[in-house]
Structure 1
Amino acid sequence: MKTILNIIWLVFSGFWLFVGYAFAGVLLCITIIGIPFGIAAFRIGVFALWPFGYTAAERPGAGAPSCIGNVLWLILGGWWLALAHIVTGVLLCITIIGIPFGIANLKLIPVALTPLGREIVRTDQQFARTAW
């Protein structure tokens, strides 16, 4: 079922989200200061390309630099991205067919707000990682 949902997502919105995040990542990587933010944009783009079966988990060992970077990201553009995902997610949840896709959009909000210090893992691996 996850594969079917991912294919439908890819055709209707995942590819375009990926292209947008990849373009932003390339622009951010032009400057040396923007490289961490560009890598985060690429990470969000890959997650937006194929979201079903994956989740964002906090990376152990991410310290103060990722916290400072997340504050900058949040102020400069993260809240716009999160707002766009909220609006799109709510609009998709209006129809019965769009509910899984709306939930996938809502699942992108935490990563869009604070992408640094997170990693994308399979949903079955997330529980194995938190057990130890």
Structure 2
Amino acid sequence: MRLLGNLLWLVLGGLLVALEYALAGLLLCLTLIGIPFGLQCFKLALLALFPFGHTVREKPPATGCLALAMNVLWLLLGGVWIALTHLAAALVCAITIIGIPFALQHLKLARLALTPFGYEIVRLP
């Protein structure tokens, strides 16, 4: 079921979303200051590529206040708009019963896009 969900996700726009995140990550990694933000874009690209069968969980609190500061900066520089885009896509997908699983994946991406620092992507068993 995960394979079918991921294939449908890729065909219906997931590949485009993943490429956009990867391109943003590459552009951000061109600057020294943007490298941590670029790595978070790569994390979002990976989840956007294969969202079915993966979940997002909080890392152990070893990152401390640095993750909080980076999340605030991410939020102010565009995280809100990325999350709102995923929320709008989730609303569109949730109109039909068939689109509800895709809406749930957009909500997962919105949660990670809002505050990506301090979270990791975990493959479900």
Structure 2 segments unaligned to the other structure (5+ residues):
none
**Aligned positions, number:** 124
Give the match's secondary structure for 1:108: helix
For the pair 1:84 / 2:85, whether they are aligned, the reply is yes
CA distances 1:67-105 after superposition (whole Å, capped 9, x unpaired)? 100000001100000000000000110012111111111
**Structure 1 position 16 matched with structure 2 position 13:** no
For 1:77 and 1:106, locate their aligned partners in 2 and report how far apart those are by CA, in whole Å.
17
Counterpart residue identity of residue 2, structure 1: R
Deviating 4+ runs (over 3 angstroms): none
Alpha-carbon RMSD across the aligned residues, in angstroms, is: 0.9
Please give the secondary structure, in 1, of the residue aligned with 2:116. Answer: coil
CA distance in structure 2 between the aligned counterparts of 1:81 and 1:10, rounded to whole angstroms = 19
- Alignment-mate amino acid for residue 14 of structure 2: G
How high is the TM-score relative to the length of structure 1?
Answer: 0.90
Amino acid at match of 2:86: H
TM-score normalised according to structure 2 size: 0.95
Tell me which residue corresponds to 1:102. 103
* In 1, Cα distance between equivalents of 2:124 and 2:66: 27
Q: Secondary structure at the match of 1:51?
A: coil
Matches of 1:110 and 1:98, distance apart in 2: 19
| Other structure's SS at 2:63 match | coil
Cα drift, residue 123 of structure 1: 2.8
Q: Percent identity?
A: 50
Secondary structure at 2:51 match in 1? coil
